[in-house]
């Protein structure tokens, strides 16, 4: 009897198969060859028949050459850093696609010569915050502070409250970031109370600027005090206000969240913010303020290293000029309407034998924005065992587990995503886990379902 391994097709023969050849054009040769090699290995090991090598290779190929996978955010956290923060609007996604080839990002079509880079996005940002004398965009909010320190306080002092020496994502700390530029931090006040006089007593010939940082990811209550922007502006040195989450103007649902317009009207020389949080756009650092200062920042050599690409500029302009982005829509969603959506989904799932229920929940802004603020919401409640099954499905759905229930919070699930969520739950029900079917009760302690 001949060895069946002799029937395993060679690499060239597999690569010539139409489905594989098409995949090479869309995914690239290295990725496809790796899938073919794995299928051939399985055939040599007797795991699959030689005739199934092509099908096995095709089945192993990803949808795209990028390793990032789209997921559905059902956590109830509007700006989820681990899930890429703000999802872009349809308009912003279209803009990114339009800018993915050659564009006029730095070229004047009418005059046939070089033009101001990203002028459309900068104009849209200036129109959105008319109180700013000028605007500039860098690659994230940490970069805005880095640039401010380099330009305004290298070798000098930055006066900052001890209560605002915050740590941002992945262990990075504002004090260390600023100190890396050669600036010296002059800490004033205490953790819970810092007065205007504390700043005034610290001001001297070495003062570069006064820095006010929004306390993101935490909230201090009780016996507290903090200086207002207008009070600091009256002291003389320029005031830089890091508002963090990117509100360009006041928002009725977030009355305590700082915004750029209010800070500028109060006398801030510069306001810095993120583009991928409450603004709802791409990752970017926004600089808004006095024209002379912004121009100094823009012309510093480090500004080149911190600049954004054409895709970010396109997405930012579309976010500012286009329809309401998903984050702002989720923020404004009506709790009653969310409950009605949850009830309809639960009715459909129960009809198919899924042990679902409607639960009232509380969502959060996330991304460091509006710490301590909760938003009334509604969720589809499932047994906790559904969590990992949904997370590892064909279209990952990221939920959370509270009090032994897996919650699909609809404040962060768009109506256009509901069908995909239903299909994911159906697939999870059909799956088995090591401990049995997911239909069983699980009332363990609350934990993240990620």
Residue-wise pLDDT for 133-189, tens only, equals: 999 999 999 999 999 999 999 999 999 999 988 887 777 788 999 999 999 999 999
Which residue has better confidence, 4 or 9? 9
- Spatial distance between the Cα atoms of 241 and 259, rounded to a whole number of angstroms: 10
**Average pLDDT in the chain:** 92
Kindly tell me the burial class for residue 230, based on how many C-beta atoms sit within 10 Å of its own C-beta (0-12, 13-18, 19 or more): middle
Backbone angles phi, psi at 364, to 5 degrees: -135, 155
Residue-wise pLDDT for 190-228, tens only, equals: 989 999 999 999 999 999 999 999 876 666 777 888 999
Q: Give the DSSP letter of residue 189.
A: S
- Reduced to 3 states (helix: H, G, I; strand: E, B; else coil), residue 357 is strand
Q: What is the CA radius of gyration of the chain?
A: 27
Residue 439: pLDDT band with limits 50, 70, 90: low
Give residue 409's pLDDT: 98
Residue 371: pLDDT band with limits 50, 70, 90: confident
CA of residue 335 relative to chain centroid, distance:
23
Q: Cα dihedral angle (16, 20, 21, 24), rounded to 10 degrees? A: -130
pLDDT over 60 at 438, yes or no:
no
Residue-wise pLDDT for 441-450, tens only, equals: 443 333 333 3
Give residue 221's pLDDT: 73
Residue-wise pLDDT for 12-43, tens only, equals: 999 999 999 999 999 999 999 999 999 999 99
Q: Are 185 and 157 in contact (CB under 8 A)?
A: yes
Separation in Å, CA 287 to CA 171, 280, 404: 24, 16, 44
**Where are the alpha helices (H) located in 352-408, listed in sequence order?**
386-391
Give residue 157's pLDDT: 97
Backbone angles phi, psi at 207, to 5 degrees: -70, 120
Q: Are 397 and 391 in contact (CB under 8 A)?
A: yes
Residue 6: pLDDT band with limits 50, 70, 90: confident
Q: Give the DSSP letter of residue 325.
A: P
Give residue 4's pLDDT: 73
Give residue 166's pLDDT: 85
Cβ-Cβ contacts under 8 Å for 91 (sequence gap 6 or more): 318, 319, 321, 322, 323
Least confident of 211-215, 355-359, 418-422: 211-215
Percent of the chain past pLDDT 70, that is, above it, reads: 94
- Spatial distance between the Cα atoms of 413 and 85, rounded to a whole number of angstroms: 14
Residue-wise pLDDT for 265-304, tens only, equals: 999 999 999 999 999 999 999 999 999 999 999 999 999 9
Give residue 217's pLDDT: 62
Separation in Å, CA 198 to CA 126, 187, 221, 242: 34, 9, 20, 19
Separation in Å, CA 171 to CA 158, 176, 243: 21, 10, 20
- Spatial distance between the Cα atoms of 244 and 367, rounded to a whole number of angstroms: 9
Question: What are the DSSP E strand ranges found in 86-238?
Answer: 107-108, 113-114, 134-138, 157-161, 184-188, 207-213
């Amino acid at each position: 009897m001949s060895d069946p391994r002799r029937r395993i097709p060679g690499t060239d023969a597999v690569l010539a198969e139409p489905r594989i050849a098409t995949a090479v054009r869309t995914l690239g040769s290295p990725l496809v060859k790796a899938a073919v090699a794995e299928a051939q290995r399985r055939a040599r090991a007797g795991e699959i028949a030689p005739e199934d090598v092509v099908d096995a290779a095709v089945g192993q190929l990803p949808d795209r050459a990028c390793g990032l996978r789209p997921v559905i955010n059902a956590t109830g956290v509007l700006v989820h850093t681990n899930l890429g923060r703000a999802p872009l609007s349809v308009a912003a996604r279209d803009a990114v696609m339009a800018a993915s080839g050659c564009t006029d990002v730095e070229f004047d079509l009418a005059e046939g010569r070089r033009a101001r880079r990203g002028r459309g996005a900068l104009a849209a940002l200036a129109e959105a915050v008319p109180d700013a004398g000028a605007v500039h965009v860098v690659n994230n909010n940490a970069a805005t502070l880095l640039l401010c320190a380099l330009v305004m306080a290298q070798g000098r002092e930055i006066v900052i409250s001890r209560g605002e020496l915050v740590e941002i994502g992945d262990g990075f700390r504002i004090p260390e970031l600023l100190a890396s530029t050669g600036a010296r931090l002059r800490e004033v006040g205490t953790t819970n109370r810092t007065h205007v006089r504390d700043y005034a007593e610290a001001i001297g010939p070495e003062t570069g600027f006064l820095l006010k940082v929004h306390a993101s990811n935490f909230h201090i209550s009780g016996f507290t005090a903090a200086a207002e922007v207008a009070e600091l502006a009256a002291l003389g040195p320029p005031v830089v206000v890091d508002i963090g989450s990117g509100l360009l103007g006041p928002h009725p649902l977030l009355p305590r969240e700082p915004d750029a317009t209010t800070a500028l009207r109060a006398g801030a020389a510069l306001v810095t913010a993120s583009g991928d949080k409450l603004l709802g756009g791409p990752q970017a650092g926004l600089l808004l303020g006095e024209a002379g200062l912004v121009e100094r920042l823009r012309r510093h050599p480090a500004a080149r290293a911190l600049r954004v690409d054409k895709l970010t500029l396109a997405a930012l302009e579309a976010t500012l000029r286009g329809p309401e982005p998903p984050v702002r829509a989720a923020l404004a969603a009506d709790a009653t309407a969310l409950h009605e959506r949850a009830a309809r989904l639960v009715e459909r799932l129960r009809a198919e034998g899924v042990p679902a229920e409607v639960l009232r929940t509380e969502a959060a802004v996330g991304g460091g924005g509006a710490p301590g603020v909760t938003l009334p919401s509604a969720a589809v409640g499932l047994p906790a065992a559904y969590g990992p099954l949904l997370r590892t499905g064909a279209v990952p759905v990221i939920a959370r587990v509270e009090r032994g229930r897996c919650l699909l919070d609809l404040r962060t699930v768009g109506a256009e995503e509901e069908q995909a969520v239903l299909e994911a739950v159906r697939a999870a029900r059909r799956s088995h886990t090591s401990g049995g079917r997911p239909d069983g009760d699980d009332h363990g302690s609350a934990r993240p379902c990620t």
